[in-house]
Amino acid sequence: MKRNYFLVLISGMLLFAACDKKKDRIFEDSPTERLNAAVLNAQTILKSKPNGWIMQYYPGTNAPYGGVNLFMNFSSATDVNVQGDYTSSNVTSTYKVYPGAGPILTFDTYNSILAYFAAPGAITGLVSNDGGLGGDFEFLVTKADPDSVILKGRKRGTKIVMVPMPANPTTVISAYKTAWQRYYAPKSYRFETATGNINLEFGWFMELESLNAIYSFRVTTTGLELLSPVVVNGVSFKELTFKPATTGYPNGYYTNDAATIKLVPIF
């Protein structure tokens, strides 16, 4: 009798444990299955844009050197073509997406455009040969949707955003290069506001410096976009639009939507 009682008790406990375990299971797929699905999704999204992507690339921890636009076209499961607004180079190398702490995008063969920022000693005379500009070759894919891909540098943790390239990529890339050359043509710049001016000078790469601050940004086809909002003489802004020459500004200038600040080129 006792033996039957214990058998019934043990069976009931096992049934309860099985039901409780089933109730606590949130996902139908295992962690490995979910990770593999995320890897496949990331690679599918990267290849899904025939015109490619615009990578808003900021090298280094906290982007101390400013940013550039890299133009990525993942033409197959292994090949990627890379161009940049600051260079005439056009380089095809290889990449892969593999599982790690999430989907990892790695550029696994030499690419001179990425090496410019990521390889130690690549920027002789600009910064320390040991660290280069602190760029990354590998990125954690934190988001992969048709509208954008969000990356995080594996070494420095820098957030990198990629957005789809519009139609006519050749025209778009040419417009970015023209905007870059326009920005770099002057010898220096100054901020002009209602409460005074601030003289600026070129910094390490894609940033401007005053005596008290560094302004890190990238060139866009319409002007400049800062990495994060800044305040200059009480004026807060994140984007500046280029305005063509006027009588008072023969070389044009950059300004915010409210026209309360101007970034004026000095030739």
Q: How far is CA 221 from the centre of its chain?
A: 17
Give the tokens for residue 147.
Answer: 């509208």
pLDDT for 77 equals 95
Fold of 34-172: Lipocalin (2.40.128)
pLDDT for 220 equals 97
pLDDT for 10 equals 46
Location of structure tokens 């789809």: 164
What is the per-residue pLDDT across 82-104, written as a single tens digit (0 to 9) for each?
999 999 999 999 999 999 999 99
Amino acid at 224: L
pLDDT for 8 equals 43
What is the per-residue pLDDT across 16-38, written as a single tens digit (0 to 9) for each?
444 444 445 555 789 999 999 99
Judge whether 90 and 102 are in contact, CB under 8 Å: no
pLDDT for 253 equals 98
Of the candidates 149, 86, 76, 130, the residue with the CA atom closest to the CA atom of residue 112: 86
Q: Collapse the DSSP code of 50 into the 3-class scheme (helix H, G, I; strand E, B; otherwise coil) and give the result.
A: coil
What is the per-residue pLDDT across 113-141, written as a single tens digit (0 to 9) for each?
999 888 776 554 555 545 567 889 999 99
Give the tokens for residue 66.
Answer: 């400013």
Of the candidates 127, 108, 144, the residue with the CA atom closest to the CA atom of residue 66: 127
Q: Collapse the DSSP code of 11 into the 3-class scheme (helix H, G, I; strand E, B; otherwise coil) and give the result.
A: helix
What residues have CB less than 8 Å from 259, skipping those under 6 apart? Answer: none
Judge whether 90 and 101 are in contact, CB under 8 Å: no
End-to-end alpha-carbon separation of the chain, Å?
A: 102
The domain locations on the chain are 34-172, 185-266
* Opening angle at CA 116, ends 127 and 73, nearest 5: 150
Judge whether 204 and 64 are in contact, CB under 8 Å: yes
Report whether CATH 3.40.50 matches the domain 185-266.
Answer: no
What residues have CB less than 8 Å from 54, skipping those under 6 apart? Answer: 69, 70, 71, 72, 162, 163, 164, 165, 172
Whole-angstrom distance, CA of residue 8 vs CA of residue 32: 37
The reply to whether the predicted model has a pTM over 0.75 is yes
Give the residue ranges of the chain where pLDDT is below 70: 1-27, 121-132
* Opening angle at CA 221, ends 220 and 226, nearest 5: 20
